[in-house]
Each structure stands twice: as C-alpha cells, then as structure tokens.
Amino acid sequence: MRLPLEQLLPNLVTLGALCAGLTAIRFAVQGAFDTAAGLIILAAVLDGLDGSLARLLRSESAMGAELDSLCDFVDFGVAPALVIHLWAYGGAGGAGWIAALVFAVACALRLARFNIHSRVPSTGEPRPKTFSGVPSPAGAMLALLPIFVANLIPGAVLPAPLCAAWLVIVAALMVSRRRTPAFGPVRVRVSQARLLLLAAVALGAALLTYPWLTLVVLDLGYLMMLLPGAELRRRFARKDG
C-alpha cells in the first residue's frame, strides 16, 4: 500500500512540535528562557495545525492520534514544568521540583482522560463546545505566565515559591472538571471573514510588537473565562438559545 506524501504532513507537523518542545528544554538549561518560552508557544501553534491538516487532507489515523498525545505530554507537560523550574529555582530540588512533578503528572492525567473520551464511539451528536478541565496547550501557556510577567515588567522579582504554587494551581485546573472553552474548527459567515482576517492580523502584529504584553493579556483573558461568573453566563446563554 502506497500513501501520498501529503498524507504524512500532519505527522511531520506533530514531530516538529515535539522537536520545538525538546529544544525549549535545551535552551532553558542554557539559561535562554525567553527562547525556551517562544519554542513552547511555537509547539502550541503547530499542535493546533496538525489536527486541522489531518482533517483537511483526510489523513486522520489512530497512529496520528497516539503520536499527537505523546508529543503533547512532552511539549505541554514536561517542557513547561522544566522551563519554569529552571527559571525559578535554577534546577535545585525541594518544593520547586515537587511542583514541576505535579504539573507534569497532571498533564499526563489530563491527556489520558481526553484520550478515553475521544475513543468513545460517536453518536452523531455535534462535538461539545467545552472541555472538562484546562487543555494541555492552554495549561502550558498559563504555566509560563511568570516568565511573561517578568519580561513585561523588567526588574520585577517573582518569588520562586510563588512560581511553584502557580504551577500547582494550573495543574489543578487541568485535572479539574471545570468546563473550559473548546476552540475547535468553526465556520464563519462570508460577511464576517474580513473581520476575522483583520483580527488575526492585529493579533499577529501585537505578538510581534508587544509580545510579552500580548501574552499576559491572552493568559489573563483565558483566566477570566474560567471564573464562575463566566460559566454561569454561558449556561444562561445556552438556555436562552
């Protein structure tokens, strides 16, 4: 059996994300934490592309799903935990290392739960608009918030115990049952396409011009969506609909 070369593109993108996550660890060991954070962000972007490519090319497979999950654990479980630990504690043991272990284990549990739910036979119902718990890519972006803040405010000193506590909090959000937004494939009206393109360009320009401010705002905006009030508003909106 021969496969068209383009059928391999989604897996190549997934492996590219894995390489980005592993390289982030290498840069963190060398003390280049800004570059390490940027590579984890790149891995998150590639992680969002591989599934879309697989659906577009109709090359979804069981191997691709397993490969994606394994790479996600490295990119969004191991890499962020090590980067934050090295940044805050310099690799020393103690509470910081415990927090890093808790975060990595929480990511593994979150991915295992997602894999179990994704293997449930489809009943023909539309895909849910929410996740149970914070997804691993979003958890990685939240975990890196201390680095974003430190770069946004030069000279700011974030206590290492605070960074460790933040890792544990994000880990708890990942394994929780809290409903979180699911940013899956969406369809937009033709009249809205231009506005969407403008918004995408504005976001890209903001990331290039004010990267740390934009990343902090995105993290804080995501956290606002996790507040109990936001969840209640979503429930009322569904009932009204």
In SS3 terms, 91-117 reads as CCCCHHHHHHHHHHHHHHHHHHHHHHH
Tokens of 231: 């969840």
Tens-place pLDDT, residues 157-187? 789 999 999 999 999 999 998 888 776 656 6
Answer yes or no: is pLDDT of 75 > 50.
Answer: yes
How far apart (Å, rounded) are the C-alpha atoms in residues 113 and 222?
22
Q: Kindly list the domain boundaries of the chain, sorted by start residue.
A: 5-118+130-186
Answer yes or no: is pLDDT of 48 > 60.
Answer: yes
- pLDDT at position 60 is 73
Answer yes or no: is pLDDT of 18 > 50.
Answer: yes
Q: Is the whole-model pTM more than 0.75?
A: yes
How far apart (Å, rounded) are the C-alpha atoms in residues 145 and 167?
10
How far apart (Å, rounded) are the C-alpha atoms in residues 183 and 130?
8
Contact 87, 28 (CB under 8 A): yes
- pLDDT at position 102 is 96
- pLDDT at position 38 is 95
CB count in 10 Å sphere of residue 165:
13
Model confidence band, residue 235 (pLDDT cutoffs 50, 70, 90): low
- pLDDT at position 240 is 43
Q: Which position has the token pair 């020393």?
A: 92
How far apart (Å, rounded) are the C-alpha atoms in residues 202 and 207?
9
Q: What is the mean pLDDT of the chain?
A: 84
Q: What is the mean pLDDT of residues 120-133?
A: 61
Higher-confidence residue: 153 or 235? 153
pLDDT > 90: percent of the chain: 52
Answer yes or no: is pLDDT of 154 > 80.
Answer: yes
Contacting residues for 32 by C-beta, under 8 A, at least 6 apart = none
How far apart (Å, rounded) are the C-alpha atoms in residues 100 and 218?
23
* CATH code, residues 5-118+130-186: 1.20.120.1760
